[in-house]
Amino acid sequence: MPKKFIRRWLPDPQSIKTNRYLSVFGKVLHEPNLWHLNRKSACGAFGVGLFFAFWPVPFQMWLSAAAAIPLRVNLPLSVATVWITNPFTMPPLFYAAYKVGSTVLGTSMGDFAFELSWSWVAESIGTIGPAFLLGCAICSVVAGLVGYYGLNWVWRWSVVKSWQARQKARASKA
């Protein structure tokens, strides 16, 4: 069942409540709904995390946590899901977002050589920036929706399979 798999990888609620970086949220972290792991909270958290994973900002986890709190979805799962975009997966995912944005805008994808400098960032904002940001927005919404409904389907499928296995075990005992 997804609940058992997810619970194995999530941190302890008490360790998150005492984390100094999350202390900015104050007593709000003591809300029990943020720590429940059921289908609704897990699917919502997965959707929120994937939504913010495609935002090209360095504080994605903060945004995901800030959205999880008023939406009352599982906070640790929401923050952990953002790490789908990590230093290894970011280049291909953001390049795909740029391709999506270029396709939607109908612009040609220009050749560019990446440089790790502020001058390159400032120069490329005008050329590839609009297509990249639009692609990130589209991928963000699509990933959030697919994540929410995909996990919802997997969760329901898992519960049905578990019920069928129990019924089969009961039938074989009788």
Of the candidates 42, 66, 63, which has an alpha carbon nearest to the alpha carbon of residue 149? 42
* pTM of the shown model: 0.78
For the chain, residues with pLDDT lower than 70 are: 1-3, 6-7, 9-11, 13, 16-17, 22, 25, 110-116
- Could you write out the three-class secondary structure of 63-114? HHHHHHHHHCCCHHHHHHHHHHCCCCCHHHHHHHHHHHHHHHHCCCCCCCCC
CB atoms within 10 A of CB 146: 13
**pLDDT computed for residue 1 by the predictor:** 52
Decide if 83 contacts 9 (C-beta within 8 A).
Answer: no
**pLDDT computed for residue 100 by the predictor:** 94
Q: Which sequence spans correspond to the domains of the chain?
A: 2-173
**pLDDT computed for residue 122 by the predictor:** 76
**pLDDT computed for residue 118 by the predictor:** 74
**pLDDT computed for residue 107 by the predictor:** 83
**pLDDT computed for residue 33 by the predictor:** 76
Residue with the two structure tokens 């040609």: 108
CA distance 95 to 65: 26
**pLDDT computed for residue 76 by the predictor:** 86
User: pLDDT tens across 124-169, in order?
Assistant: 777 788 888 999 999 999 999 999 999 999 999 999 999 999 999 8
Phi-psi region of 110 (alpha: psi -120 to 50; beta: other; left: phi over 0): beta
